[in-house]
Structure 1
């Protein structure tokens, strides 16, 4: 008599990692990127749960931005896989990843400076089939604190306002997961606090985040869990309290007196 087959044997890896019965919305498996003899990302297994707010820290050259670009499809991996919401997106073009619910905001604002704030928000909405475009723009303007700047040319906004506008442009697509690369770089204390409040509010509404950041005060304000990257590999993971209490992290990343 034949032995029943393993019920999990035919489950696709993407579904096994990020399917309906899994908490994870994003998972990388042995993700590796080499540039000639340099290994920028070294066999990384990185998982983010649905609704989680994860910060990714580490020194310059640790591979943070390269990992982000592998997840978003800006770069193709040398080896390994990227799974998102039950789908293997390893070879998926960037624009299809956006349509699947994965949004990204890189460090420098990518806005249309000659257009108004409202017009900037209208552009990503053209990718959707939402009928309530005007309502969506009004809601997003209020959400990012730019309701009184709707008709202002985006180029006239402050640096912090431009960053909030671009986050707003990404949220109009209603992503499941948003990736942010140093969202408060170059901001004042007040602007940084405003962006922290915005990210927390969006996360409270269920949006998951991966945030690359050097500003540890900002990380303390927003993080649920922190991943430390070193030489392209995961060095440590845990709560912000655990990370800051780790002697190796203190010595290598936060400074001896951190």
Structure 2
């Protein structure tokens, strides 16, 4: 059969995220139930290559559950996850990492007894050859403005520096898709702007796609290509930041405003 022959059967994952598409991640009817509670309700979400997508919504909307389904920390009750030509719905977390998905969790995950260099070496050992460890370590720490702290213990870093180190560690896995859960929580306005600049530089120069959960709407306005609003486990609406923030229903359920 010739290439392009309509009789050639391809998988849904290839159709959704394969060659000829610009989509790197597609979920279909993704659902997660905990007993009688539906945390993620038949979510269909597409993320394009090199896109910076923000997820917003009230507490309990299902944002973190959704990210944990993508990473494999949770198994879906129903639905499918297609990523970069493959159906990864049943893959364990470590195989998803090997395919290029990394995540910075909301709860800090630094090894406090280790230095900055040692923390970064942990993901680098998985992703790059040993002969380039030092060069890649310095490159990442310079990119995240942490090079002068390379041999300092992680406990000596400020909260903002720890957040940057955790994102650097996620980048150390050489991802195609990075998931960030509230990366600027507790940061100052200046530190938040620094994180925004770093993410946009990574997106532009390295082509990494992002899904970012964030409550700081000012930060979302700085970085988002598109915004998806979750409510009660499902997608309420999505669009540009301007379209979303001008939506009166979004103002009501998320921003706490009334017309």
Tell me the secondary structure at the aligned position of residue 126 of structure 1. Answer: helix
Question: How do 1:1-258 and structure 2 match up within 5 A?
Answer: 7=6, 10-130=9-129, 131-205=131-205, 206-256=207-257
Indicate conservation of the 8 Å contact 2:32/2:38, yes or no.
yes
Aligned mates of 2:148, 2:242 — CA distance in 1: 38
Matched-pair contact (CA < 8 Å) for 2:248–2:258: no
Q: Secondary structure at the match of 2:127?
A: coil
Q: Helix, strand or coil for the counterpart of 1:201?
A: helix
Which runs of 5 or more residues in structure 2 are unaligned?
Answer: none
CA distance in structure 2 between the partners assigned to 1:163 and 1:85 by the alignment: 28
Q: Using the alignment, how far apart are the partners of 1:20 and 1:142 within structure 2? A: 35
Shift in Å, 1:174: 1.3
Q: Match of 1:134, SS?
A: helix
Stretch of structure 1 that moved more, 86-95 or 126-135: 126-135
**In 2: Cα distance, 1:164 partner to 1:230 partner:** 29
In structure 1, what is the Cα distance between the partners aligned to 2:8 and 2:231?
Answer: 35
Q: 1:256 to 1:70 in 2, by over 3 A?
A: same
Q: Which runs of 5+ in 1 are unaligned?
A: 1-5
CA RMSD of aligned residues (A): 1.5
After TM superposition, the score normalised by the length of structure 1 is: 0.95
SS at match of 1:113: coil
Post-superposition Cα deviations, 1:129-162, rounded to whole Å, max 9, x if no partner, equal 4231110001001111101110110111011101
TM-score, with length taken from structure 2: 0.95
Using the TM superposition, give the Cα deviation of residue 255 of structure 1 relative to its aligned residue in structure 2, in angstroms: 2.1
1:137-191: CA deviations, max 9, x gaps? 0100111110111011011101110110011011112100000000111112221
